[in-house]
Chain A
Amino acid sequence: GDSVTQMEGPVTLSEEAFLTINCTYTATGYPSLFWYVQYPGEGLQLLLKATKADDKGSNKGFEATYRKETTSFHLEKGSVQVSDSAVYFCAGGSGGSYIPTFGRGTSLIVHP
């Protein structure tokens, strides 16, 4: 079946540091790929997505590119802020019944 693997956390950074959170997927087809963010005490919300190979999703300074050749969708941000502290989930999904597969989440802690 489909699977999504993302790097374990926590990832601890200083403000203005560069962020990368790795995500790779395994699927029989070419799923849409997502990054969701979960702030403390809240539900998940969509951060960005890409629906086909070479698409780049971007939002709030975060970017991720759908790499078919490496089956990856790594999340990056050039300069993180304290307010980016949250848990980030990579997910993939396709098909009519649409049951997405989620990674286990990566906690990001940004210090001033």
Chain B
Amino acid sequence: NAGVTQTPKFQVLKTGQSMTLQCAQDMNHNSMYWYRQDPGMGLRLIYYSASEGTTDKGEVPNGYNVSRLNKREFSLRLESAAPSQTSVYFCAIRGASTDTQYFGPGTRLTVL
């Protein structure tokens, strides 16, 4: 997971609260992704950003917003958390000249 950091590592929210998950990379890669991982569901793409200034919806974008603040940072915001958003969230990056993704260590979110 070298090169991709995520904060916080753990978070507990109450229904209706908001929070922002942070992702930063030091590999100077263009593409960044947010996934959620749920038991038996594998990885599902929430949003991605092909380059600074662009973002696109993935498979499960409802209830989330993203910001590609600069080339290094890509944040995921939950405006009004719901129990269905309890999950492990992973940020990933990819360089223009490679098809390999590099993942952060994850944020474990519980919404009560």
Contact = CB atoms under 8 A, between A and B. Distances in A.
Interface string A82-100: 0000000100011001111
Nearest to A104: B42
Interface residues of B, number: 23
A43 B99 contact: no
B89 to A, nearest CB: 10
B46 to A, nearest CB: 12
A42 interface: yes
B42 A100 contact: no
B18 interface: no
Interface of A: 32, 34, 36, 42-46, 49, 51, 89, 93-94, 97-100, 102-105
Interface of B: 1, 4, 31, 40-43, 45, 48, 50, 56, 58, 90, 92, 94, 99-106
